[in-house]
Amino acid sequence: MFFGSDTTAPAHPSVLKAMARANEGYPHSYGADHAMDEIRAQIRDLFEAPDAAVYLVATGTAANALILATLIDPWQAVFCHRSAHIETDECGAPEFYTGGAKLVLIDGEHAKISPDALKNALSTTGQVGVHGVQRGMLSLTNATENGTIYTPAEVAALTKIAHADGLPVHMDGARFANAVVAAGCTPAQMTWKAGVDALSFGGTKNGLIGVEGVIFFDPKHAWEFELRRKRGGHLFSKHRYLAAQMQAYLDGDLWRDMATAANAAAQRLSKGILTIEGASLVHPTQANGVFASWPRIGHRRAYAAGAEYYFWPEGASLEGPDDETLPARLMCSWSTTNDDVDDFLAAIRG
């Protein structure tokens, strides 16, 4: 009953086998291996983007921060949701790698930016000349930190506003596969066809050991990104171990299969929680995260049974009235089974 984070899930067996194969021989280093050539071709084909520049890094923070640094100047603003991962969980890395660019935070229900909110933020930024931060770019998180998704139409509505002001758009896709599966669309429909200029293509949260793709749909950014990746300490010498993971991820659409399993587990869990007296959803369950609230007595029972998950926001206590409802975040992964879900629900019910 491990629902603390999808990053704690094991790597898929196919990924481990691919890593073992990569350990044979003496492939070229720093991304010059043959596997990386194949990955570029596979990702370009998957995204229907034959000219895309494709790279790999080991962490989502590196992918996000290096993309932002490539697309804007230090005196510009990154418009993002207040709950975006680049704001809440990256220890100032976006500001550090961009040389000081400012994150301008936008509110919105269920961690999603609305077109009106974006227009308002743009209208109040860069209005005092040299004295204020200038408008730089838009960053969207999909799936969001609250388990919801932007549909391709919603992405397009926001990118249209950004592009009208000449701003590029980045998508933080740490859980991109979950968003694509939930929306029932293609990777291309969720990204460049909807106006996204660069994507962090997540793998670590979806069954890989540690690798994220970086995709620029306009290759003009390629050389600058390569320099920033090297200068920032994120160019792996034994790059073939990153490539092996991504190769396994792409082969046979494993990325989609794992996301489908995780999303299905979240739906089962969400529906089960709603059968518990006093329970409710804090946010809609659309990807692989369940944000729900139920009485404290159920939390006590779950923790006593060995369940792992987080109160959300953190800081709630198991001490207090039995019937007081407490919100929690539960993340499902590719390896979450029906038994895991059912055992957890049984524990809450006691």
Average confidence (pLDDT) over 181-201: 98
Is there a single domain that holds both residue 107 and residue 198?
A: yes
Q: Read off the pTM.
A: 0.96
Inside any domain, residue 198: yes
Is there a single domain that holds both residue 244 and residue 291?
A: no
The pLDDT of residue 127 is 85
Inside any domain, residue 183: yes
Q: Decide if 44 contacts 192 (C-beta within 8 A).
A: no
Q: The domain that contains 246 carries what CATH number?
A: 3.40.640.10
**First-last CA distance in the chain:** 15
Average confidence (pLDDT) over 116-126: 96
Inside any domain, residue 7: no
Q: Is the pLDDT of residue 314 over 90?
A: no
Is there a single domain that holds both residue 68 and residue 192?
A: yes
- Cα–Cα distance for residue pair 6/135, rounded to 1 Å: 34
Is there a single domain that holds both residue 207 and residue 270?
A: no
Q: Is the pLDDT of residue 128 over 90?
A: no
- Cα–Cα distance for residue pair 212/91, rounded to 1 Å: 19
The pLDDT of residue 231 is 97
Q: Is the pLDDT of residue 297 over 90?
A: yes
Average confidence (pLDDT) over 307-318: 92
Is there a single domain that holds both residue 218 and residue 263?
A: no
- Convert the pLDDT of each residue in 201-216 to its tens digit: 999 999 999 999 999 9
**What value does the mean pLDDT of the chain take?**
97
- Cα–Cα distance for residue pair 249/229, rounded to 1 Å: 22
Nearest to 224 by CA among 73, 50, 39, 69: 69
Is there a single domain that holds both residue 242 and residue 304?
A: no
Inside any domain, residue 6: no
The pLDDT of residue 234 is 98
Portion of the chain with pLDDT greater than 70, in percent: 100
The pLDDT of residue 173 is 98
Around Cβ 350, how many Cβ atoms within 10 Å?
11
What's phi and psi for 285, nearest 5 deg?
-90, 105
How many structural domains comprise the chain?
Answer: 2
Is there a single domain that holds both residue 274 and residue 207?
A: no
Quickly state the pLDDT bin for 262 (edges 50, 70, 90).
very high
Is there a single domain that holds both residue 91 and residue 236?
A: yes
Is there a single domain that holds both residue 198 and residue 296?
A: no
Quickly state the pLDDT bin for 84 (edges 50, 70, 90).
very high
Inside any domain, residue 8: no
Average confidence (pLDDT) over 59-87: 98
Range of the domain at 269: 255-349
Q: Is the pLDDT of residue 315 over 90?
A: no
Average confidence (pLDDT) over 286-299: 98
Is there a single domain that holds both residue 219 and residue 193?
A: yes
Inside any domain, residue 26: yes
- Convert the pLDDT of each residue in 86-105 to its tens digit: 999 999 999 999 999 999 99
Inside any domain, residue 261: yes
Quickly state the pLDDT bin for 150 (edges 50, 70, 90).
very high
Inside any domain, residue 4: no
Torsion sign (Cα): 68, 69, 73, 75: positive
Q: The domain that contains 336 carries what CATH number?
A: 3.90.1150.10
Is there a single domain that holds both residue 149 and residue 265?
A: no
CB neighbour burial string for 81-98, b if at least 16 within 10 angstroms, e if fewer: bebbbbbeebeebbbebb
- Convert the pLDDT of each residue in 25-68 to its tens digit: 999 999 999 999 999 999 999 999 999 999 999 999 999 999 99
Is there a single domain that holds both residue 118 and residue 57?
A: yes
Q: Which of 238, 253, 268 is the last residue of a domain?
A: 253
Q: Which of 230, 253, 276 is the last residue of a domain?
A: 253
Quickly state the pLDDT bin for 313 (edges 50, 70, 90).
confident
Residue type, 146: N
Q: Which of 220, 253, 286 is the last residue of a domain?
A: 253
